[in-house]
Amino acid sequence: MKKLVVFDLDGTLAQSKSAIDEEMSGLLYSLLTVARVAIISGGAWPQFEQQVLAKLPGEKGLERLSILPTCGTQFYEYTGKWHKLYAEDFTTAEKKKITDALNEVVNTLGYKAAKLWGPAIEDRGSQITFSALGQEAPLEEKKKWDPDFAKRQKMKALLAGIIPEFSVSLGGTTSVDITKPGIDKAYGIRKLRDILGIPIEEMLFAGDAIFPGGNDYPAKETGVACIKVRDPDETKRVIETIIACYTG
Task: Answer yes or no: is 146 a known binding residue.
Answer: no
Dihedral angle over CA of 105, 109, 114, 116, nearest 10 = -40
Quote the pLDDT of residue 96: 98
248 residues of the chain, pLDDT tens digit each: 899 999 999 999 999 889 999 999 999 999 999 999 999 988 889 999 999 999 999 999 999 999 999 888 899 999 999 999 988 889 999 999 999 999 999 999 999 999 999 999 999 998 899 999 998 999 899 999 999 999 999 999 999 999 999 989 887 789 998 988 888 889 899 999 999 999 999 999 999 989 887 879 999 999 999 999 999 999 999 999 999 999 87
Question: 133-170 in b/e burial notation, b at 16+ Cβ within 10 A?
Answer: bbbebeeebbeebbeebebbeebbebbeebbeebbbbb
Task: Answer yes or no: is 231 a known binding residue.
Answer: no
Say which residues have a Cβ less than 8 Å from residue 52's Cβ, sequence separation at least 6: 9, 13, 14, 19, 20, 28, 39, 67
The one catalytic residue in 10, 146, 184, 216 is 10
- Sequence length of the chain is 248
The one catalytic residue in 8, 146, 184, 216 is 8
Enumerate domains of the chain plus CATH numbers. 4-88+183-247 (3.40.50.1000), 92-179 (3.30.1240.20)
Task: Answer yes or no: is 193 a known binding residue.
Answer: no
Task: Answer yes or no: is 123 a known binding residue.
Answer: no
Confirm whether 184 is a catalytic residue.
Answer: no
Confirm whether 8 is a catalytic residue.
Answer: yes
Task: Answer yes or no: is 100 a known binding residue.
Answer: no
Quote the pLDDT of residue 28: 98
Alpha-carbon gap, residue 70 to 77, rounded angstroms: 15
Alpha-carbon gap, residue 170 to 149, rounded angstroms: 8
Alpha-carbon gap, residue 154 to 158, rounded angstroms: 6
